[in-house]
Amino acid sequence: MVEITVLKRSRTEAALTQRKFFKKTAKGKVFKVLRERYLRDDVSCGIDGCKICHDTPLPSYGDKNHSSFPDGHFLLPDTNVFLSQMDLIESPLFGPPIILLQTVMEEVRHRSLPLYNRLKALTRMEDKKVWVFYNEFRSETAIVREEDETPNDRNDRGIRKATQWYAQHVALRSSSIRGQDQNSPTILLLTEDAANRFKAEKLGLSALSVRKYVEGMKDSPQLLDLLAAEGSDEIEPTRVATGRQVLYPEYLSTGILVAGVKAGSLHQGHFNANQYNYLEGNVSVPGFNKPILLIGRENMNRAVQGDVVVVEVFDEKEWKAPADEVVDQESTLKDDDAEESEGEGDAEKSGQLREKEAKMVKVEKIASLRSLERLPTGRIVGVIKRNWRAYVCHIESTSLTSSNSTSLSIQTVFATPVSRLLPRIRLRTRQAPTLLNQKILVTIDRWDATSRYPEGHFVRALGRAETKEAEQESLLLEFEVPYRPFGKAILDCLPQQGEQWVVPPKTESSKEWKDREDLRGLNICSIDPPGCQDIDDALHARVLPNGNVEAGVHIADVSHFVHPDTPMDNEAAARGTTVYLVDKRIDMLPALLGTNLCSLRPFVERLAFSAIWELSPEADIVNVRFTKSVIASKAAFTYEEAQIRKDDPHLQDDLTQSIRLLNTLAQKLKAKRMAAGALNLASPEVKIHLDSAESSDPIDVEQKEMRETNSLVEEFMLLANISVARKIEEVFPQTAVLRRHMPPPKTNFEKLQDLLEKRKGFKLDVSSSGVLAKSLDLCVDPDLPAFNTLVRIMATRCMLSAEYFCSGSVGKNTFGHYGLASSIYTHFTSPIRRYADVLAHRQLSAAIGYSPLHPSLHSKAHVERILEVVNKRHRLAQMASRASVEFYVGLALKARGERGGGTGVTEEAFVIRTFRNGIGIFVSKLGIEGLVTFKKDMLFDAENYTMTVAGMVISVFDKVVVRIEVEKDRNTHRGKVKMTLVSPIDSKGM
């Protein structure tokens, strides 16, 4: 009989192995949580050569390249080092071995989830030597919080305790292995907290600040530039530095802000900068139909694009209209000195600049009388959450005090972000001369009330400005597109057969064929843009014996290869979507899946998820079914090829008849949608002609041509998405992944309505989507065929953005898609390039009983978190794609201009906005917008949207001719599109 011994734990030991804390629910209820932790004595130190421990990835004596530690050393950073100096630690030049404590990881996770994700990625980098030491589970390093000890003090004590244990452990290891002939390496506590360093030194430990440590490194000049600006970046009430002029109002305390928002006296929202006027911004808040206008630096109070801010709204008699003048940051502040812009410099010069800006924000009497344009006006009184990140910038050459490339002296310079929505950033660097003419990455660290500009630090150089490589990487970074290569853990999730994987022969034992329909005999084809490699969808149609039509949409079965909660699934969820640039695609999934195994290429068998309808000849749905299937596409057409095939009367084969049948049904489906109130909106789309696939040099640009076959595919994708949405919401009413488009506030259309009525005499009725659609159809100018398209583009900009949502998170009456006039909608048809579609596939698979639903998709909170990321990625991907097109349009125009003798390109355009000193232009053929600015104010009629230039009246919606040139900015060295009027008047020199 086995003898069982029960060991009773002492009271002292119980206190050490139990973690007790209190948790507060959303409803305010407080309850105690008691967690058991099991302490052990075999948690490895991770240092090579240690006979006591196993798992030894760190070198035996650490790093011996530091001037202060010739015998070697290991770094043990505390939490604040990772919170403030992550750019330094991630740098390839920063190579000492790092001991990362569990305490530090948990505190970083609690303080900043984005930094925690970067920290986890750091532990997986092959060129970094990082060991995670679970100090909370090692018996010698575990501690408990003492009475009256703050959580921060408890963590600091735990870090010192672990440092002390490591120092003793390394000394013991060195003596047991080497004898006493060589000194043991130093365990260095790296901390910015002076009190923590003092306490560590009292214990006989080595401790340094980050700056002091970096100064002794081999590459210190470059590494010192990576240090975050000194000072706290926490959002607290402003502390005024003595001797400096205060330029901004103090922030209210967090407690007052929260109480004010709750009481309704203050309002919370995201700060949006004005792209035309750097001295204006606005904040959209739930309490007002219109955004709150912020005028002047003081009222914008150090907010940066995307910050979550709290605003105080002024009394209604103080409400103003937005300025009617273009105010450019670069030209207005070109004479400002980076060294003297911190409040302590030349008071006279600073006063002159403030006076200059004050004149620019002065609201004219006529503007105040424009009651239609008056907006709620206010000021920012606090920041809840900063949106600071790394920004793509250029060093302003005029801000350098020395351009000597060999100089290593520290200079304070201005870094101008590529985005016009961001302020200049003050930067202290030793590398300023070598960074000229380059695109660089800069992070904001702080913005004091005594500094006109935020302060930041240099992260890294991206390459020479205007080179395609540097521009492409800067674009990806600017829009936060994850573009790192797929790691080994992700690639290990792919089928082992690689490109040799095929659908196995049909047998009863084959798991691929289990419960799948064999649709290989159908005349299925795909219709996509030219060069499409990730073919998500294919279609078929055939007439049934009863006279009805069977139509099918077949979608790549991505969920067969991408399983829930795997490294590949987690990466796809983090990326959210594939990003399409002009000459590059940043895939959501590895290429083996996206362009091969999942892609519905012709003449090969592929796994699919099919939606098959029986439709009446009038395109009414008789029934619909969903099934996992195996298909073999008979052809892959471009839109143009499918159109030619459909229109050729000599072709009567089954595939051509299928396309014609699909087209007939699509026309009827579209007619039904339009009759139900769907909107036919527009967005400018252009096609870039590249020199060759290898060089990717743009040689020309033209408007995309839309064909019947474009609409054919669109209608059946919409039908599939709507049908799937109904099914998954019926089966999973609490967690269905859906997509909605909320009706826009009627106030969004006020400006467009006023414009159309005053300039063209058209009435725009926005009472419903159907009425709006009819109104847009009537906005036709016989003399200007492109006018209706322009109005639809402007109407699109008045809309709210569509978004993914979890069905159980909102009321059912808000499920609808305004633009499509559908009561319910989702995305199902593009799982290769959209993660939301992958989730919809999993839910539909469970809904038809093919496979069980993963527990995560039963959790409303989990679905909400995933969709929040997907919405953000989707929005940024669209912006990145547009920015890529704009860049290549600029290159194409430059090439076209050079072929024409360097005089630029002349194009017809529409006036879409008037200012006191310029007009906004839209060139429909190129899909670009620009400004024609004048050196002085012109006669301006804000009420009627006109301006008079040299006796010629120009108004919104007028057709003009502009000359477009791409010139190099002398300061930033980047290409800049410049527009001047050619007709009805030549504005050159005006």
Instruction: Give the DSSP letter string of 183-238.
Output: PPPEEEEE-S-HHHHHHHHHTT-EEE-HHHHHHTSTTHHHHHHTSPPSS--S--S-
* pLDDT above 60 for 294: yes
Higher pLDDT, 661 or 466: 661
Rounded (10°) CA dihedral 138, 141, 142, 148: -170
The predicted pLDDT at position 932 comes to: 86
SS3 state at 557: coil
Give buried/exposed letters for 423-447 (b at 16+ CB in 10 A, else e): bbbbbbbbbbbebbebbbbbbbbbb
Average pLDDT, stretch 580-585? Answer: 86
Q: Is 685 exposed, middle or buried (0-12, 13-18, 19+ CB in 10 A)?
A: exposed
Contact 790, 910 (CB under 8 A): yes
Q: What is the DSSP letter of 745?
A: P
CA angle 143, 149, 152 (to 5 degrees): 80
Average pLDDT, stretch 180-206? Answer: 87
- The hierarchical CATH code for the domain 903-983 is 2.40.50.140
* pLDDT above 50 for 233: no
Q: Which CATH fold topology does 254-325+363-385 show?
A: OB fold (Dihydrolipoamide Acetyltransferase, E2P) (2.40.50)
SS (H, E, C) 882-903: HHHHHHHHHHHHHHHHHHCCCC
Contact 817, 739 (CB under 8 A): yes
Span 412-430, pLDDT tens digits:
888 989 888 899 999 888 8
Please state, as a whole number, how many other Cβ atoms lie within 10 Å of the Cβ of residue 252: 18
- One-letter amino acid of 641: E
Strand partners, 914: 919
DSSP per position, 648-690: -TT--SHHHHHHHHHHHHHHHHHHHHHHTT--------EEEEE
* pLDDT band per the 50, 70, 90 thresholds, residue 241: very low
Strand partners, 277: 327
- CA dist 339 and 349 (Å) reads 12
The predicted pLDDT at position 367 comes to: 47
* pLDDT band per the 50, 70, 90 thresholds, residue 369: very low
- CA dist 720 and 722 (Å) reads 6
Q: In this structure, what token pair is assigned to residue 546?
A: 């009863």
- CA dist 791 and 72 (Å) reads 69
* pLDDT above 70 for 17: no
- DSSP-H helix ranges across 850-945: 860-899
Please give the C-alpha separations between residue 702 and each of 561, 689, 880, in angstroms, as whole numbers: 39, 8, 20
Contact 269, 284 (CB under 8 A): yes
- CA dist 572 and 590 (Å) reads 9
* pLDDT above 90 for 940: no
- The hierarchical CATH code for the domain 43-232 is 3.40.50.1010
- CA dist 959 and 256 (Å) reads 53
SS3 state at 838: helix
SS3 state at 872: helix
* pLDDT band per the 50, 70, 90 thresholds, residue 148: confident
Average pLDDT, stretch 893-918? Answer: 80
Average pLDDT, stretch 766-793? Answer: 86
Average pLDDT, the chain: 85
Average pLDDT, stretch 311-322? Answer: 91
The predicted pLDDT at position 839 comes to: 97
Lowest-pLDDT range, 517-526, 636-645, 659-668, 686-695?
686-695
Backbone angles phi, psi at 15, to 5 degrees: -60, -35
Reference 310, options 294, 322, 323, 321; nearest CA is 294
In the block, residue with structure tokens 């590249």: 690
Span 717-748, pLDDT tens digits:
999 999 999 999 999 999 999 999 999 988 88
- CA dist 848 and 927 (Å) reads 44
Count of residues in the chain:
990
Contact 566, 462 (CB under 8 A): no
- CA dist 572 and 587 (Å) reads 9
CA–chain centroid gap for 4, Å, is: 59
Lowest-pLDDT range, 315-324, 332-341, 602-611, 823-832?
332-341
Give buried/exposed letters for 734-762 (b at 16+ CB in 10 A, else e): ebbbbbbbebbeeebbbebbbbbebbeeb
Using CA of residue 680, residue 683, residue 688, residue 693, what is the dihedral sign? Answer: negative
The predicted pLDDT at position 849 comes to: 94
Please give the C-alpha separations between residue 155 and each of 57, 102, 107, 143, 158, in angstroms, as whole numbers: 26, 10, 8, 9, 5
Average pLDDT, stretch 756-760? Answer: 89
* pLDDT above 70 for 878: yes
Q: In this structure, what token pair is assigned to residue 195?
A: 């009190």
* pLDDT above 90 for 198: yes
* pLDDT above 90 for 937: no
- One-letter amino acid of 545: P
- CA dist 302 and 448 (Å) reads 8
Contact 477, 484 (CB under 8 A): no
* pLDDT band per the 50, 70, 90 thresholds, residue 540: very high
* pLDDT above 90 for 982: no
Strand runs (DSSP E) across 683-825, as ranges?
686-690, 698-703, 737-740, 803-806
- The hierarchical CATH code for the domain 390-478 is 2.40.50.700
- One-letter amino acid of 143: I
Contact 550, 541 (CB under 8 A): yes
CA–chain centroid gap for 870, Å, is: 10
Give the chain's radius of gyration (CA, Å).
Answer: 32
Contact 851, 845 (CB under 8 A): yes
* pLDDT band per the 50, 70, 90 thresholds, residue 604: very high
The predicted pLDDT at position 473 comes to: 87
Residues 6+ apart with CB under 8 A from 514: none
The predicted pLDDT at position 622 comes to: 95
- One-letter amino acid of 771: V
The predicted pLDDT at position 537 comes to: 94
**Listed ranges 126-140, 609-623, 955-969; the one with the highest mean pLDDT:** 609-623
The predicted pLDDT at position 728 comes to: 97
SS3 state at 413: strand
Strand partners, 968: 975
Q: Do domains 390-478 and 903-983 have the same CATH topology?
A: yes
Q: In which order are the strands placed within the sheet that holds 517-518?
A: 517-518, 621-632, 605-615, 549-556, 537-543, 525-528, 635-638
* pLDDT band per the 50, 70, 90 thresholds, residue 366: very low
Q: In this structure, what token pair is assigned to residue 811?
A: 């009321």
Q: Against a cut of 0.75, is the pTM above it?
A: yes
Q: Is 128 exposed, middle or buried (0-12, 13-18, 19+ CB in 10 A)?
A: middle
Average pLDDT, stretch 689-714? Answer: 69
The predicted pLDDT at position 898 comes to: 73
* pLDDT above 50 for 237: no
Lowest-pLDDT range, 515-524, 869-878, 942-951?
942-951
Lowest-pLDDT range, 31-45, 687-701, 822-836?
687-701
- CA dist 449 and 616 (Å) reads 69
Strand runs (DSSP E) across 430-548, as ranges?
438-446, 455-464, 517-518, 525-528, 537-543
Q: What is the DSSP letter of 857?
A: G
- CA dist 439 and 462 (Å) reads 5
Contact 906, 709 (CB under 8 A): no
* pLDDT above 50 for 242: no
* pLDDT above 90 for 20: no
Reference 390, options 450, 313, 445, 427; nearest CA is 445
SS (H, E, C) 38-73: CCECCCCCCECCCCCCCCCCECCCCECCCCCCCCCE
Domain ranges of the chain: 43-232, 254-325+363-385, 390-478, 488-676+684-738+807-878, 743-799, 903-983
The predicted pLDDT at position 234 comes to: 42
